[in-house]
Structure 1
């Protein structure tokens, strides 16, 4: 599994979109529609919420195109907007959704207990197992393992501590290993 966000966007397309050219805005939307929806779906596990997050994030990005300085790839900038929008949706939903209950934060992370289950199991099995994780844990696992975010980046995005991110990842991977029947021995 890997992020599909790494799409090179010509600077001319961004400049054209900044000037308000509808064809350029539509082209940017079409380029990132699928990866944006997939990322939101992974973080939220609800197709309707993912669809709304995609639209909200793209509108936000289009309104803020003048803020894109080009010091990172456009796709990374847009991906962060999608992540932030999805996490805001997740926070607002948390009180209403029993499935989104968090695993508590612990000061020290659970030590790594073996191979990454996301790379050892069949994709369909991983999808089902991810959907069973609490929303916050699923988000941390996805952002770290698939999107390549660091623990400090995840902590900052979620308004939590680095140890929170590490403990959620360790607990999420342990649960995935258990649910997928992946052996928990380390391959040194």
Structure 2
């Protein structure tokens, strides 16, 4: 499996102490990974409260299973997989969403200045929040986490074609929501 494009270093001594059951060491591990695990949950689930619940449940599982970590791969990859599984389990409990909901066409303001990068980021956040959970999750897993369609399909208990279709539908919807000119994008 590919992984996210960043890693979080954890001293081996800290992991040894946490695996040995030292509460203070596990608290340090929790503090290092609290934000990235929460962010992953928020990206996949789209709900801050549910992302916080997912963070707590995932970290409890990590606490119980930290002895299983053998150090053969980066710790963040191991922890991230636990968090990802927890988020996807929560998505599966929801009513299945196999389609992208219709989104109203954006209002045009031709006289508006181009937004700054921060405004672009905020617009993307708002647009992603309008996508169905499953579609947003496929987009995030593919583009941000670097998973292949085969990996996404396996993680979500779906087919490869489902992953591909959700990705394409999501991209088309984002273009509408962000008012991206497809012809301009083709030349970038």
Q: What TM bracket, shorter-length normalisation?
A: 0.7 to 0.9
Contact (CA 8 Å) 1:44, 1:86: kept in 2 or not? Answer: yes
Gap runs ≥5 in structure 1: 96-100, 105-118
CA distance in 2, matches of 1:187, 1:166: 23
- Per the TM alignment, residue 93 of structure 1 is displaced from its structure 2 partner at its CA by 2.3
> TM (normalized to structure 2)?
0.82
Larger Rg: 2
Contact (CA 8 Å) 1:44, 1:90: kept in 2 or not? Answer: yes
Contact (CA 8 Å) 1:25, 1:62: kept in 2 or not? Answer: yes
1:83 and 2:81 aligned = no
1:168 and 2:166 aligned = yes
Gap runs ≥5 in structure 2: 101-116
Change (3 A) 1:46 1:5: farther
CA distance in 2, matches of 1:168, 1:65: 34
CA distance in 2, matches of 1:38, 1:18: 25
What pairs with 1:4-153 in structure 2 (closer than 5 Å)? 6-94=7-95, 101-103=97-99, 122-153=120-151
CA distance in 2, matches of 1:177, 1:71: 41
Q: How many pairs were matched up?
A: 166
Root-mean-square deviation (Å) = 1.9
Contact (CA 8 Å) 2:18, 2:25: kept in 1 or not? Answer: yes
Contact (CA 8 Å) 1:5, 1:36: kept in 2 or not? Answer: no
Residue number in structure 1 paired with 2:112: none
Partner deviation per Cα, 1:2-32 (whole Å, 9 max, x = no partner): x686211112111110000111100010001
> TM (normalized to structure 1)?
0.82
